[in-house]
Amino acid sequence: MTFVPEPFPHALNVISADADALAGPVRAAVASLGAADEIRWLSPTRAFDIAFLGTPERVAAAARAAATGLAADINVVASAFRRKRLLIADMDSTIICCECLDELADMAGLKPRIAAITERAMRGEIAFEPALKERVGLLKGLRLDALERVMAERVKLNPGARELVRTMRANGAHTMLVSGGFTFFTQRVAIAAGFEHQQANVLLDDGQHLTGLVREPILGREAKLEALTSETTARGLDFAETLAVGDGANDLAMIQRAGLGVAYHAKPLVAEAAGARIDQGDLKGLLYLQGYRDDEIVSD
């Protein structure tokens, strides 16, 4: 894919409920470090870009200093290949509002015990695969209707999920939901959000109850990276044309490999290592990071 070089190689992207108040001070901070374009509003009063020639790290730091005391997501993105052609997204606590395994644990009266293991795994304190086996093992004997109840009662799309997926698809991107969770949920969430493909682990059952086992091999951190790599190669894309988003330690490899890797309301380990982070806003923020304006976003 060819592209026309931008006069400014980077853009500062600002998303905030206080964007109007931030626009002037942030542009002044950016301009103090080098040539800066005028403010380009993506969402009136909520999101804007400033293209610039300065050093990305210094510009981001100066903009964040100018925004001290106000809640804002401030990131620097490359101008080249800004609108991505592949989206790889984590599911639990990223596309949906909960951790499905923890909600199954709640049905079994084991949520505090299992959620504590989940938290440690997502923070990168323990390995994902043995942590998953341990948690699933504790659910042995849980009736299968508990999965239906969790899906119906607990699983909700996070704000902006449909808009993110549908807008990217409408602009030619391929979309894939990848999860260390379970196909029972990814199959349904993929349909609800509009993803074209999904992959996850398979819970084993005896027809009425969970057996406490998960099909091997377990899909975790490396499987997510492999999904990104294989889809990028198969579609003849450059990694610069890819976007990966997640919140936990098992998402970090794909986030770091993607052209735009986004930590979404993420654990500290992930937020600190990602190229971009959304801590305040919703999933539409990933569209603003790509330069989409409100009038280009596909809503329900």
Annotated active-site positions, please? 90, 92
Cβ atoms of 193 and 286 within 8 Å: the answer is no
Determine the straight-line distance between the first and last CA of the chain, rounded to whole angstroms: 30
Q: Which residue has the tokens 């804007």?
A: 48
Using CA atoms, how far apart are residues 72 and 76, in angstroms rounded to an integer? 13
Q: Is the dihedral of CA 181, 184, 186, 189 positive or negative?
A: negative
CA distances from 150 to 86, 116, 156, 219, 246 (A): 30, 19, 10, 22, 21
CA dihedral 226, 232, 236, 237 (to 10 degrees): -150
